[in-house]
């Protein structure tokens, strides 16, 4: 898969969606997707491995036609997703401080491992939406997905996220981000203008620009001009 870029800032989506969710601009050379999520309350919690509770059983009944995950396992999955994003942040900061080949390799490996872990979670439990793991961990899952290098996996998850957003199980901006990401990777115009070309610091091409802000408003995103001002201030 080819293409580079950075996803836009979601700082204002929280006021219109589920919880405060921010995506600063990616400043790491040769990386795609978003740089990370802002500090959230869950980041202060003790984190652990999801496998620690596997022996308690994975399912009990159904959850809207899908296997229902036991609360202990859901909490462990949430901690694991957040822990992995924290590792991504540490590896990225190190790559910024010391832009060596070794530091770059650690960041790439971290993101590859995170993507593989997310693939396992999705395969077992479906997309980790907010109703399963909570909004912060679901946002962490989205960040991991946007840093994955498997477009087929991203497309599969895009459709899962679309359904979760339609069902009210995750914030609509999550679907906007992954839909735009996949469109750009496929060489197509994006829908919501969330992905920005780091070379020009302008959004990649958008379909039907005249109605862009209307579409953004429908999914809880701020107008594009406001998004770009926020990005410039945070850059």
**Burial status of residue 172 (CB atoms within 10 A of its CB: 0-12, 13-18, 19 or more):** buried
Three-point CA angle 224, 230, 233, nearest 5°: 145
pLDDT single digits (tens) 138-196: 999 999 999 999 999 999 999 999 999 999 999 999 999 999 999 999 999 999 999 99
pLDDT single digits (tens) 55-114: 333 333 445 555 567 889 999 999 999 999 999 999 999 999 999 999 999 999 999 999
Three-point CA angle 135, 159, 154, nearest 5°: 85
Q: Is the pLDDT of residue 28 over 80?
A: no
pLDDT given at position 61: 40
CA distances from 222 to 85, 140, 142, 149, 226 (A): 25, 21, 19, 28, 6
Q: CB within 8 A of 1, min separation 6: which ones?
A: 149, 150, 151, 185
pLDDT given at position 64: 54
pTM of the model: 0.74
């Amino acid at each position: 898969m080819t293409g580079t870029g950075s996803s836009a800032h979601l700082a204002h989506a929280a006021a219109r969606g589920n919880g405060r969710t921010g995506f600063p601009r990616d400043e790491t050379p040769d990386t795609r997707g978003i740089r990370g999520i802002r500090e959230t309350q869950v980041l202060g919690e003790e984190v652990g491995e999801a496998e620690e509770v596997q022996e308690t059983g994975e399912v009990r009944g159904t959850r809207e036609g899908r296997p229902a995950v036991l609360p202990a396992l859901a909490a462990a999955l949430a901690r694991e997703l957040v822990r992995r994003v924290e590792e991504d942040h540490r590896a990225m900061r190190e790559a910024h401080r010391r832009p060596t080949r070794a530091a770059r390799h650690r960041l790439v490996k971290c993101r590859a491992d995170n993507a593989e872990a997310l693939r396992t979670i999705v395969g077992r439990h479906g997309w980790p939406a907010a109703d399963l793991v909570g909004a912060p961990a679901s946002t962490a899952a989205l960040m991991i997905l946007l840093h994955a290098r498997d477009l087929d996996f991203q497309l599969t998850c895009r459709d899962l996220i679309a359904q979760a957003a339609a069902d009210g199980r995750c914030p609509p901006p999550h679907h906007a981000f992954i839909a735009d990401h996949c469109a750009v990777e496929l060489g197509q115009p994006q829908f919501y203008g969330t992905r920005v070309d780091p070379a020009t610091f302008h959004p990649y091409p958008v379909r039907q620009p005249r109605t862009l802000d209307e579409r953004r408003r429908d999914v809880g995103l701020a107008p594009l001009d406001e998004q770009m001002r926020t990005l410039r201030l945070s850059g």
